[in-house]
Amino acid sequence: MSDGLDVRAAVTRSMLGWGVVAGPFYLVFGLILALTRDGFDLTRHSLSLLSLGEGGWLQILNFALTGIMVIVAGWGLLRAPTDRSRGTGIAVIIAGAALVLAGVFRPDPVAGFPPGAEANATASGIVHLVMGAAQFIGLAVAALIMAGTFARRGERGRAALSRILGIIVIVAFLAGAALSASPIGVGLLWLAVVAGFAWLLVSCLWVYRIVPHPDLSQR
């Protein structure tokens, strides 16, 4: 503490703020790329494919920056004074690290994108899929742990929403992966992405309010 300022609380709140920014940043950045890349079809292609071909480095950057934001948010959850926040934070950090690695290991071309590329299975593509699974599972586990935290605090509404979003993430991901070659599968993967980032956003806002105000005079 310094001059009436709780530095730890201030840093923790700042770190949680990145969990609010991560999802909108990833989705807006990705949609801009999707709408400006020749041959990309939002009904047939996942955003991961944007890391392929000319301009693919921009989606790789999107993965990296968003993953770092998620890792920082997870660290903020680790620092927060909540029951079992450690498990939630670790799961979120794993999800963020997986997102960064999903950019490092690029997916295999599918469904005609990039234009002219032949579909083939590579080690990079397999690792990319594994990292995608780790990201979704990490967020789903974090959501279910957080649901237990809020249930013990008697906050049933927040517990229910966290549990529902966690279930949506894992079910939509598994179903979407199984049907990934169809528009329905792509739509389900979009649902998993949106639900995961929505959970991270609202959870970081909830925990932000639990962290004591850094200005000691306002506590």
Q: Which long-range contacts (CB under 8 A, 24 or more apart) does 77-80 make?
A: 77/16, 77/19, 77/142, 77/203, 77/204, 77/207, 79/8, 79/11, 79/12, 79/15, 80/12, 80/16, 80/207, 80/210, 80/211
pLDDT band at 181 (very low <50, low <70, confident <90, very high): confident
What is the structure's pLDDT at 3? 61
What is the structure's pLDDT at 19? 96
What is the structure's pLDDT at 82? 66
- Given a contact cutoff of 8 angstroms between Cβ atoms, the answer to whether 66 and 50 are in contact is no
Averaged over 102-108, what is the pLDDT? 93
pLDDT tens column, 121-148: 889 999 999 999 999 999 999 999 999 8
Considering only 102-111, 127-136, 189-198, 205-214, which range has the smallest mean pLDDT? 205-214
- Given a contact cutoff of 8 angstroms between Cβ atoms, the answer to whether 106 and 46 are in contact is no
